[in-house]
Amino acid sequence: MTLSELPINKPARICFLPDNFTLSAQLIEQGFALKTDISLAHKAPFNGPLAFYLHGTKMCLPREIANQIKIELLNT
């Protein structure tokens, strides 16, 4: 499953970042690191960006990048 497929308010954990080294480095700097707990806060309409909660803050990503980040759902 990818970040763009995550249902709203479902907890998940990042398990794979994009193959592009530069993009992965930028994501890690923003807090989107491996084994980070994350949940979807909001989906903008018309294929707009997605807002996620991680590390106690809300961060946005374009859908094209969220499609490249693999996650695993957490049991709650």
This prediction's pTM: 0.92
Decide if domain 3-73 falls under CATH 1.20.140.10: no
Contact predicate 4/18, CB 8 Å: no
Q: What is the mean pLDDT of each run of 10 residues along the chain (76 residues)?
A: 95 97 96 96 94 95 97 90
Distances (CA, A) of 64 to 36, 55, 70: 20, 22, 13
pLDDT in the model for residue 73: 97
